[in-house]
């Protein structure tokens, strides 16, 4: 192992040809600190200079080509800025035009008519004839040309590096020198031999060398396949280890029985039949909570899939076993909605439920704190006020966290300290996370998916309208309001600095008022610049049905529940991301009436914007939308994902390599099933690799 450390951990400035100045630049520009980092600076493509083609073989699909021919003539064409130099090269099968727009004096001095040259470059066509602009040329020496046996890598560089003579080509020379220095023992295998053999993967040392200097494209593709698999496999082993070791080591309260509270509610007070998806998740939670290990489960459910009823039934399970539960929401208005909804469902049950937020009055707060401490309060709903020091539970056993990315890991951990044994944790999110992203960003959690809507939910009709149709859109809102319904009109989020956005909103508000004059119609307005109390009051008026129309920025995105709202108009739709549009749309369609979402844009919409609108109009499926969002934006931008080492892949892509990710997950799980501590001889090299990597990436438990 010391050999690995001594070579691959060597500072990059110690590589011949680098030195302190270039070393500093490589660190700042490309994040290359060590020899090992340089090996992980992979080429963006390879060019094949191992074979010489005939000029006659050039066709419209030819990309790069290498030919040998005699230079027939060189001449200057055009004047001033249009001046260029052209030459003609001939072999026994045809002629090829060469052209230069820069470096003309060098060409005139160095190229000799009648000499045979080895020419390489990217093929283009000018006047239907093949042409290479700025070709690479050298006098043809058969022995040298024939000595090229590997594909030539092309590396990414930057302008600052090029200024220090570190172009992609120079980086290639440094890499070639390093690959020449390392030996097999320096790059130890980190995938168990059984897995290597079963999947016919290239050994690690060979794969690293072939990713840079392969003899042919087959070797290169086999190397990249192996290295991508390695990235996914190591990530999955690490995530599953965290999960399995937590199952082993973290004690949890035991819910031994399903008692009268659960059964009575289920049989007599459940407002509707549970979906198959809801039943499946309840079964998973029941199994988790009976094991004696702390549950950490992420529950993904699309907007309106019925997550709250699953949370309530789980809380009843806790109460049956003598434990208290709390539900934590990110805002006061959402906490209030949960409290109102749960109180209504529990009105005929012998259970106490209260709400605790920053605005709870002092006397009421004291009563709630006393009831939590003596155990007479079964359920509490609240905001981050629940994790403040004075809040003490007698017997906290179950915690529900709504909309997980609003709460940090440290905040959730504080809830642990309120119980002698860590409570079970159910994290609910209405932001659908694509399966591949969940497997990487949340792979250390057990996760459940609810992808079925309760019966009676009508799909929302979504249409796209251009600005010129605004009057008819407003007319449509009027007909819905006349029926007693409510409508949202949403504008893009206002940042403090965005004066224009604020003016757009105010202008829009005045426009809406002109269509819907007071006092016949009442309008609420909510935006980020309002004081919190005013924002809360305006939102509550709409929630209570005191106003007909809510003009808002995206502050209403998460969780607000107004079953009577049947129309959602989204202004400047092209400025929103797909998942955000889907979340906004989910604010309507919550009652039994038909609901509509109208996407309003100007006449000019970008290609990406049109694609997002097309997807929104085609489907209401949040998981399908999340997959499309991942494809369009990439994983780094997806809302709610942890920016952790789980996504720091150099080669693998969770968008393009889904099948490989599934395979790596399966292999990692099978391996750990047989040897959770990686103590078998065949797994020791993997264990050693994981120990070396510790601390390099931000792997963390969710709670």
* Residue 238 · residue 690 · CB < 8 Å: yes
pLDDT in tens, 487-504: 999 988 655 445 556 677
pLDDT number for residue 350: 93
pLDDT number for residue 641: 44
pLDDT number for residue 1: 35
* Residue 424 · residue 399 · CB < 8 Å: yes
Long-range contacts of 199-208 (CB under 8 A, 24+ apart): 199/229, 199/663, 199/667, 201/225, 201/226, 201/229, 202/226, 204/230, 208/39, 208/179
pLDDT in tens, 68-102: 999 999 998 888 777 889 999 999 999 999 999 88
- The Cα 460–Cα 457 span in angstroms is 9
* Residue 428 · residue 400 · CB < 8 Å: yes
- Among 422, 428, 389, CA closest to 323: 422
Is residue 638 over pLDDT 70?
no
pLDDT number for residue 89: 95
Q: Which helix (H) or strand (E) holds 353?
A: strand 353-356
Residue 122: phi, psi to the nearest 5? Answer: -85, 130
- Among 526, 531, 570, 532, CA closest to 551: 526
Is residue 519 reached through a cis peptide bond, with omega within 30 degrees of 0 on the bond before it?
Answer: yes
Lowest mean pLDDT, pick from 181-190, 241-250, 271-280, 286-295? 241-250
pLDDT class of 200 with cuts at 50, 70, 90: very high
**377-389 mean pLDDT:** 85
Structure tokens given for 625: 């939308």
pLDDT number for residue 437: 78
pLDDT class of 199 with cuts at 50, 70, 90: very high
Structure tokens given for 580: 């955000």
Is residue 9 over pLDDT 80?
yes
pLDDT number for residue 501: 64
pLDDT number for residue 653: 85
Structure tokens given for 535: 């924002």
pLDDT in tens, 59-73: 888 888 999 999 999
Share of the chain above pLDDT 90, in %: 48
- The Cα 219–Cα 223 span in angstroms is 6
Q: Which helix (H) or strand (E) holds 296?
A: strand 296-301
pLDDT class of 417 with cuts at 50, 70, 90: low
Place of tokens 């959690």: 445
Structure tokens given for 455: 């019966």
Is residue 105 over pLDDT 80?
yes
**373-396 mean pLDDT:** 88
**22-44 mean pLDDT:** 93
Q: Which helix (H) or strand (E) holds 427?
A: strand 424-429
- Which is higher by pLDDT, 693 or 123? 123
* Beta carbons within 10 angstroms of residue 335's beta carbon: 26
**318-330 mean pLDDT:** 93
pLDDT in tens, 264-278: 999 999 888 898 999
**580-607 mean pLDDT:** 88
- Which is higher by pLDDT, 157 or 211? 211
493 three-class SS: coil
pLDDT in tens, 440-490: 777 777 888 887 777 767 789 999 999 899 999 999 999 999 999 999 999
Place of tokens 């220095």: 181
Place of tokens 């004047």: 79
What 8-state DSSP symbol labels residue 520?
A: T
Q: Domain 461-619 carries which CATH code?
A: 3.40.50.300
**612-622 mean pLDDT:** 91
The sheet with strand 486-490 has its strands ordered as 461-466, 596-601, 565-570, 486-490, 549-552, 523-526
pLDDT class of 174 with cuts at 50, 70, 90: very high
Length of the chain: 703
* Residue 641 · residue 504 · CB < 8 Å: no
- Which is higher by pLDDT, 128 or 374? 374
Q: What is the mean pLDDT of the chain?
A: 86
**640-657 mean pLDDT:** 67
pLDDT number for residue 223: 97
Share of the chain above pLDDT 70, in %: 90
Structure tokens given for 59: 């066709």
pLDDT class of 546 with cuts at 50, 70, 90: very high
Question: Yes or no: is domain 260-289+305-429 CATH 3.90.1150.10?
Answer: no
pLDDT number for residue 493: 66
- The Cα 295–Cα 318 span in angstroms is 13
Decide if 260-289+305-429 and 461-619 have a common fold: yes
- Give residues with Cβ within 8 angstroms of 302, minimum separation 6: 430, 432, 450, 451, 453, 586, 621, 622, 623
- The Cα 603–Cα 630 span in angstroms is 26
pLDDT number for residue 557: 47
Structural domain boundaries in the chain: 1-50+167-185, 51-147, 260-289+305-429, 461-619
pLDDT class of 144 with cuts at 50, 70, 90: confident
- The Cα 654–Cα 142 span in angstroms is 45
- The Cα 509–Cα 67 span in angstroms is 68
pLDDT number for residue 561: 76
- The Cα 137–Cα 31 span in angstroms is 33
pLDDT class of 635 with cuts at 50, 70, 90: low
Residue 256 has, within 13 A of its CA and on its CB side, a CA count of 2
- Give residues with Cβ within 8 angstroms of 255, minimum separation 6: 286, 289, 290, 317, 318, 320, 321, 323, 397, 424
- The Cα 543–Cα 497 span in angstroms is 30
Structure tokens given for 343: 């109180």
Lowest mean pLDDT, pick from 94-98, 112-116, 157-161? 157-161
Is residue 420 over pLDDT 80?
no
pLDDT number for residue 416: 59
Q: What fold does the segment set 51-147 form as a domain?
A: OB fold (Dihydrolipoamide Acetyltransferase, E2P) (2.40.50)
What torsion do the CA atoms of 89, 90, 91, 96 make, to the nearest 10 degrees? 60
* Residue 119 · residue 88 · CB < 8 Å: no
- Which is higher by pLDDT, 192 or 145? 192
Residue 216 has, within 13 A of its CA and on its CB side, a CA count of 2
- The Cα 147–Cα 139 span in angstroms is 15
């Amino acid at each position: 192992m010391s050999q690995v450390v001594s070579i691959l951990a060597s500072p990059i400035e110690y590589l011949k040809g680098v030195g302190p100045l270039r070393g500093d630049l490589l660190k700042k520009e490309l994040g290359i600190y060590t020899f090992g980092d340089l090996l992980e600076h992979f080429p963006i493509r390879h060019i094949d200079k191992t074979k010489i083609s005939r000029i006659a073989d050039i066709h419209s699909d030819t990309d790069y080509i290498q030919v040998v021919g005699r230079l027939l003539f060189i001449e200057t064409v055009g004047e001033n800025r249009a001046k260029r130099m052209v030459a003609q090269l001939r072999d026994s099968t045809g002629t090829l035009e060469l052209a230069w727009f820069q470096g003309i004096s060098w060409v005139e001095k160095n190229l000799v008519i009648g000499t045979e040259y080895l020419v390489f470059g990217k093929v283009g066509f000018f006047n239907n004839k093949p042409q290479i602009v700025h070709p690479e040329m050298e006098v043809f020496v058969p022995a040298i040309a024939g000595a090229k046996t590997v594909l030539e890598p092309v590396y990414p560089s930057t302008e600052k590096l090029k200024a220090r003579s570190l172009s992609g080509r120079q980086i290639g020379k440094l890499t070639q020198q390093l690959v020449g220095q390392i030996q097999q023992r320096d790059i130890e295998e980190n995938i168990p031999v059984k897995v290597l053999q079963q999947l016919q993967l290239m050994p690690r040392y060979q794969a690293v060398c072939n990713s840079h200097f392969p003899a042919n494209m087959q070797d290169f593709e086999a190397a990249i396949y192996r290295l991508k698999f390695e990235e996914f496999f190591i990530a999955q082993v690490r995530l599953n280890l965290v999960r399995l070791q937590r199952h082993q080591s973290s004690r949890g309260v035991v819910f031994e029985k399903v008692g009268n509270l659960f059964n009575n509610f289920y049989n007599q007070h459940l407002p509707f039949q549970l979906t198959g998806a809801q039943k499946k998740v309840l079964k998973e939670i029941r199994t988790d909570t009976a094991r004696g290990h702390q549950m950490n489960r992420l529950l993904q459910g699309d907007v309106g899939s019925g997550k709250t009823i699953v949370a309530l039934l789980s809380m009843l399970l806790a109460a049956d076993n003598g434990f208290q539960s709390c539900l934590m929401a990110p805002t006061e208005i959402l906490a209030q909605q949960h409290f109102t909804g749960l109180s209504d469902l529990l009105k005929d049950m012998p259970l106490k439920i209260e709400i605790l937020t920053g605005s709870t009055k002092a006397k009421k707060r004291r009563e709630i704190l006393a009831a939590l401490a003596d155990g007479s309060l079964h359920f509490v709903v609240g905001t981050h006020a629940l994790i403040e020091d004075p809040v003490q539970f007698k017997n906290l056993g179950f915690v529900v966290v709504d909309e997980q990315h609003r709460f940090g890991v440290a905040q959730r951990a504080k809830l642990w300290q309120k119980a002698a044994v860590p409570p079970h944790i159910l994290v609910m999110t209405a932001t659908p996370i694509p399966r591949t992203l969940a497997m990487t960003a949340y792979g250390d959690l057990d996760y459940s998916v609810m992808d079925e809507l309760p019966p009676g939910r009508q799909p929302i009709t979504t249409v796209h309208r251009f600005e010129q149709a605004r009057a008819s859109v407003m007319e449509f809102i009027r007909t819905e309001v006349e029926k007693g319904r409510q409508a949202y009109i949403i504008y893009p989020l206002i940042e403090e600095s965005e004066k224009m956005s604020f003016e757009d909103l105010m202008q829009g508000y005045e426009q809406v008022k002109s269509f819907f004059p007071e006092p016949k119609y009442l309008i609420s307005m909510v935006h980020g610049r309002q004081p919190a109390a005013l924002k809360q009051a305006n939102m509550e008026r709409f929630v209570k049905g005191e106003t007909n129309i809510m003009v808002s920025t995206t502050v209403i995105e998460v969780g607000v529940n107004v079953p009577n709202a049947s129309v959602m108009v989204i202004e400047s739709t092209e400025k929103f991301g797909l998942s955000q549009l889907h979340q906004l749309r989910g604010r309507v369609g919550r009652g039994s009436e038909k609901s509509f979402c109208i996407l309003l844009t100007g006449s000019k919409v970008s290609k990406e914007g049109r694609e997002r609108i097309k997807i929104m109009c085609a489907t209401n499926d949040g998981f399908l939308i999340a997959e499309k969002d991942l494809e369009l934006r990439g994983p780094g931008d997806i809302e709610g994902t942890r920016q952790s080492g789980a996504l720091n892949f150099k080669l693998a892509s969770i968008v393009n390599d889904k099948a490989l990710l599934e395979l790596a997950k399966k292999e990692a799980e099978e391996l750990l099933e047989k040897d959770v501590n990686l103590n078998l001889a065949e797994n020791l090299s993997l264990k050693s690799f994981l120990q070396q990597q510790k601390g390099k990436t931000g792997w963390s438990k969710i709670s």
